[in-house]
Amino acid sequence: MGVEIGAGIVIPDAELEFDYIRAPGPGGQNVNKVASAIQLRYNAAGSSILDEHSRARLATLAGRRLTREGWIVLTAHRHRTQEANRRDAFERLAELITAARIRPKPRRATKPTRGSRERRLEGKKQRTETKHLRRRPGAD
């Protein structure tokens, strides 16, 4: 079936793996008994929902969370329950994939206008004059 992450995008179950692990941090005896944190793995390299451009952008956005094999590993342990951590991990994955699918607007090189060049040069002249007036009288 798969997991729907929004905007009609469904990740197939074959591209996802998750394990429940013990969460770090304070929590008393509960932390030693219950595996409430989730480690979600997403196969970005073999993804069927991403094109090549989105895959490359996802790799950049994922950063250290991307393994050499092309899997994105997300660990969620903010909440006390498995279900809340699972939702949190899927939401974070959805944000990553949604951001990767957006193509950035290409930068168009422009030339400065004549007026902006003149204003820049006028500002430089004023700064030069200000610094010149700060000198000692005999420094010229």
65-79: per-residue pLDDT in tens? 888 988 899 999 888
Res. 140: pLDDT tops 60 = no
Res. 131: pLDDT tops 60 = yes
Q: Spell out a b/e string for 43-54, using b for 16 or more CB atoms within 10 Å of the CB, else e.
A: bbbebeebeeeb
Q: Residue 106: its pLDDT value, please?
A: 92
At 76-117, the pLDDT tens digits run 988 888 899 988 998 898 888 888 888 889 999 999 999 999
Q: Residue 20: its pLDDT value, please?
A: 87
Q: Residue 134: its pLDDT value, please?
A: 93
Res. 45: pLDDT tops 60 = yes
Q: Residue 104: its pLDDT value, please?
A: 87
Quick check: 72 and 39 in contact, CB under 8 A?
A: no
Res. 1: pLDDT tops 70 = no
Position 33, amino acid = K
Q: Residue 34: its pLDDT value, please?
A: 81
Quick check: 17 and 93 in contact, CB under 8 A?
A: no
Is residue 40 classed exposed, middle or buried when 0-12, 13-18 and 19+ CB atoms within 10 A define those classes? buried
Mean of the pLDDT values across residues 44-70? 86
Distance between CA atoms of 77 and 23, rounded to whole angstroms?
Answer: 6
Domains and CATH numbers, the chain: 3-101 (3.30.160.20)
Q: Establish how many alpha carbons lie within 13 A of residue 17's alpha carbon, considering only the half-sphere containing its beta carbon.
A: 6
Mean of the pLDDT values across residues 26-44? 82
Q: What is the pTM of this model?
A: 0.69
Distance between CA atoms of 18 and 80, rounded to whole angstroms?
Answer: 17
